[in-house]
């Protein structure tokens, strides 16, 4: 039984934690939160690029570090824990994974080295309005090498240089790549509940686009990209959830009411124990997702769904009950609790909300039982 990260991977996690503890405190996160003009923390992003983290799971042939998905998972946990206000997930989990999965040799050679060196910031654009993305009903259309339509919201859409777009293509859907700095692209920033991560509405008006993967393969490729991203996002989520439990725990020990620490009351103790249980369920399922992702296992669909569901629930619960544990202080702008509450909600919906993933999970179990 070897169901844990290796010593080298744990060392990488420790190094990432130390780096982010120094360079990405909530003071840095708040620089982005409190400045509408800031889409991300440029200084932090530059250092992350310089350390090569974006190329963690990109081969050396394509300019990456040639490590693997497990290494990317441990970095993701630390970025989530630190609420890093940078377009890392969009670029590394969605864009780069889509290119690795579906790209031609030429596309990989053109794009992956630029992801690794930071000259390409990627994003994924699928949502067009309220409700789950339904590939059959898309109104963004790809035809004759041109893209028309509007995607909203697109996480990091305002600062990304390239997007992978899910678009209608004939009678089905395809993934296409668009250079967002080129013609026919209009972007406007969106106000969201999570201002430390930027979001845009992007309108394509005859924007040049090229297929990523086969024409008509969009739905299955998109789902495969989501499965990969779901595992990586789950690590960001368990990182954030762990931090929420630490904050609640520290506060419950120092805050006195009725003559003793509030953490001596069972109502608080049991709340925090519930957080602990959910966090461990989230962590164990995330590890299983990491295993499936790193080995290319056939179990990835159910592993990714379970990781995403468990981690989304853990982070939501921990972030809301962390505010509750802090009482009135927890509801002020100055105390950090709301930063995690905001991020928890973004991460729970940005790759499809839990209801969708429950259905995906049960579908995967049905397929498995039928096999």
Partner 1 sequence: MDFNDTPEEAEFRAEARAFLEQHLDKKEPGRPSRDESYMKRAKEWQNIKAENRFAQITWPEAMGGRGGTPMQQVIWNQEEAQFDAPTAPFAIGLGMCVPTVIAFGADEHKERYVKKALHGEEIWCQLFSEPSAGSDVAGLKTKAVRDGDDWVVNGQKVWTTGAQFSDYGILLTRTDPDVPKHKGLTMFIVDMKDPGVEVRPIHQASGGREFNEVYFTDVRIPDSDRLGEPGQGWKVAIVTLMNERLAVGGSPGPDWQEIMDYARDAGTLSDAAFRAKLADWYVAAQGYKLTKFRTQTALSRGETPGPENSIGKIITANHLQDICNSAVEMQDHYGIINDPGKAPADAIFQESLMWAPGLRIAGGTDEILKNIIAERVLGLPQDVRVDKDKAFSEL
Tell me the CA end-to-end span of the chain in Å, nearest whole number: 26
Instruction: From 21-29, 81-89, 190-198, 299-307, give the range in contact with partner 1 by CB under 8 A.
Output: 299-307
Which residue among 67, 99, 241, 272 contacts partner 1 (CB under 8 A)?
272
Instruction: From 3-11, 134-142, 186-194, 328-336, give the range in contact with partner 1 by CB under 8 A.
Output: 3-11
User: Which of 72/272 has CB closer to partner 1?
Assistant: 272
In whole angstroms, how far apart are CA 47 and each of 22, 41, 44, 319, 340? 12, 10, 5, 28, 23
CA 363 to mean position of chain CA atoms: 23
Question: Any bridge partners for residue 223, and if so which?
Answer: none
Q: Is 359 in the site for partner 1 (CB under 8 A)?
A: yes
Residue 172: name the closest of 130, 129, 214, 210 by CA. Answer: 214
Q: State phi, psi for 91 to the nearest 5 degrees.
A: -80, -50
Q: What tokens were used for 231?
A: 């595992």
Q: Is 366 in the site for partner 1 (CB under 8 A)?
A: yes
Instruction: From 18-26, 156-164, 216-224, 308-316, give the range in contact with partner 1 by CB under 8 A.
Output: 308-316
Instruction: From 159-167, 168-176, 183-191, 360-368, give the range in contact with partner 1 by CB under 8 A.
Output: 360-368
Min dist CB 104 to partner 1, Å, is: 31
Give Cβ neighbours of residue 60 (< 8 Å, ≥ 6 apart).
Answer: 66
User: Which of 47/280 has CB closer to partner 1?
Assistant: 280
Pairing of strands 260-261, 256-257: antiparallel
Q: Is 280 in the site for partner 1 (CB under 8 A)?
A: yes
Which residue among 39, 107, 285, 319 contacts partner 1 (CB under 8 A)?
285
Min dist CB 228 to partner 1, Å, is: 16
Using DSSP's 3-state secondary structure scheme, residue 189 falls into strand
Residue whose entry in the numeric block shows the structure tokens 């405190």: 25
Residues 310-329 that bind partner 1 (CB under 8 A): 310, 313
Residues 60-79 that bind partner 1 (CB under 8 A): 70
Binding mask 230-269 for partner 1 (x = CB under 8 A): ---------------x---x--xx------xx-xx-x-xx
CA distance 89 to 45: 12
Neighbour-count burial of 223, counting CB atoms closer than 10 A to its CB (0-12 exposed, 13-18 middle, 19+ buried): middle
Binding mask 8-27 for partner 1 (x = CB under 8 A): --------------------
Residue 271: name the closest of 339, 321, 233 by CA. Answer: 321
Which residue among 274, 324, 327, 331 contacts partner 1 (CB under 8 A)?
274
CA distance 303 to 301: 6
Using DSSP's 3-state secondary structure scheme, residue 266 falls into helix
Binding positions for partner 1, rule: CB under 8 A: 1-6, 70, 245, 249, 252-253, 260-261, 263-264, 266, 268-270, 272-274, 276-277, 280-285, 287-288, 290-291, 294-295, 302, 305-306, 309-310, 313, 355, 357-359, 361-362, 365-366, 369
């Amino acid at each position: 039984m070897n169901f844990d990260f290796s010593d080298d991977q744990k060392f990488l996690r420790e190094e990432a934690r130390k780096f982010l503890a120094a360079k990405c405190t909530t003071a840095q996160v708040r620089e982005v939160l409190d400045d509408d003009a800031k889409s991300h923390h440029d200084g932090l992003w530059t250092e992350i690029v310089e350390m090569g983290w974006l190329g963690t799971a990109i081969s050396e042939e394509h300019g990456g570090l040639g490590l693997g998905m497990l290494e990317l998972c441990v970095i993701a946990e630390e970025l989530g824990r630190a609420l890093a206000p940078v377009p890392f997930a969009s670029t590394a989990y969605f864009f780069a994974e889509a290119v690795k999965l579906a790209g031609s040799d030429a596309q990989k050679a053109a794009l992956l080295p630029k992801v690794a060196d930071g000259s390409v910031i990627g994003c994924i654009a699928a949502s067009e309005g309220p409700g789950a993305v339904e590939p059959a009903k898309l109104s963004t259309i790809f035809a004759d090498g041109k893209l028309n339509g509007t995607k909203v919201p697109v996480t990091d859409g305002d600062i990304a240089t390239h997007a992978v777009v899910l678009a209608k293509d004939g009678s089905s859907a395809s993934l296409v790549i668009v250079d967002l700095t080129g013609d026919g692209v209009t972007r406007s920033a969106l106000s969201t509940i999570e201002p430390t991560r930027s979001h845009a509405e992007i309108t394509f008006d005859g924007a040049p686009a090229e297929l990523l993967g086969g024409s008509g393969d969009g739905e299955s490729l998109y789902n495969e990209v989501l499965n990969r991203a779901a595992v990586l996002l789950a690590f960001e989520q368990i990182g954030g959830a762990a931090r929420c439990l630490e904050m609640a725990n520290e506060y419950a020990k120092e805050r006195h009411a009725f003559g003793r620490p509030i953490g001596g009351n069972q109502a608080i103790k049991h709340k925090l124990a519930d957080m602990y249980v959910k966090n461990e369920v989230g962590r164990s399922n995330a590890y299983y997702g990491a295993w499936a992702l790193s080995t290319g296992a056939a179990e990835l669909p159910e592993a990714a769904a379970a990781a995403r569901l468990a981690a989304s629930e853990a982070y939501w619960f921990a972030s809301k009950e962390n505010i509750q544990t802090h009482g009135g202080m927890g509801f002020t702008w100055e105390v950090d609790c709301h930063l995690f509450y905001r991020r928890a909600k973004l991460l729970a919906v940005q790759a499809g909300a839990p209801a969708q993933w429950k259905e995906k999970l049960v579908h995967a179990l049905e397929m498995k039982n039928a096999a």
